[in-house]
């Protein structure tokens, strides 16, 4: 993990890169997400059918489960000290180049793209977060995500 003071964050634009620890995507996580969202498509929750019929020969994680894990993984890769709150401000870009098979290990790679002072209390940081899959060439997700730091 990298730790950076908020007032020094802009000095690292274009150079700051950090990785979270690996996280295993379990079938229980996939099914809990399906229950929370109502997305019970068989490629996610029907293990036996997915093994037989899906192109991945395994159930796969929902794309939006992957995106939601950015808020879990990125703070394990990068800690910005100083703000009283950090707010998920949204996404500029989002792509899912590859699926995550149930049981796979993933991690986030965080790159600082830009830092902008919004006003005297708020700083907006733009990151490129790449969700990597252990042993795979293509990432599961590439997102340009925004974090608003409130001082």
Is the pLDDT assigned to residue 84 strictly greater than 90?
yes
Is the pLDDT assigned to residue 140 strictly greater than 90?
yes
Longest dimension (CA), the chain: 57
pLDDT digits (tens, 9 = 90+) for 21-68: 999 999 999 999 999 999 999 999 999 999 999 999 999 999 999 999
Is the pLDDT assigned to residue 118 strictly greater than 90?
yes
Percent of the chain with pLDDT over 90: 99
Q: How far apart are CA 96 and CA 66, in angstroms?
A: 9
Its pTM stands at: 0.95
CA distances from 109 to 24, 26, 49, 132 (A): 16, 20, 32, 7
Classify domain 2-24+61-150 by CATH number. 3.10.129.10
Percent of the chain with pLDDT over 70: 100
**How far is C-alpha 49 from the geometric centre of its chain's CA atoms?**
28
Q: Is the Cβ–Cβ distance between 150 and 5 less than 8 Å? A: no
Q: How far apart are CA 76 and CA 130, in angstroms?
A: 14
Structure tokens at 90: 């949204």
Is the pLDDT assigned to residue 16 strictly greater than 90?
no
pLDDT interval class at 94 (50, 70, 90): very high
């Amino acid at each position: 993990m990298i730790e950076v003071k908020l007032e020094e964050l802009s000095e690292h634009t274009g150079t700051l890169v950090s990785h979270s620890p690996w996280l295993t995507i379990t079938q229980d996580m996939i099914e809990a997400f399906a229950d929370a969202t109502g997305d019970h498509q068989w490629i996610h929750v029907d293990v036996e059918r997915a093994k037989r019929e899906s192109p991945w020969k395994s159930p796969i994680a929902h794309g939006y489960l992957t995106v939601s894990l950015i808020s879990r993984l990125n703070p394990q890769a990068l800690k910005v000290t100083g703000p009283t709150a950090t707010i998920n401000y949204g996404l500029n870009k989002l792509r899912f180049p590859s699926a995550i098979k149930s049981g796979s290990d993933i991690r986030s790679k965080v790159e600082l793209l830009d830092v902008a002072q919004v006003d005297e209390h708020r700083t907006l940081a733009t990151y490129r977060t790449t969700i990597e899959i252990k042993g795979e060439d293509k990432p599961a997700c590439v997102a340009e995500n925004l974090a608003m730091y409130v001082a």
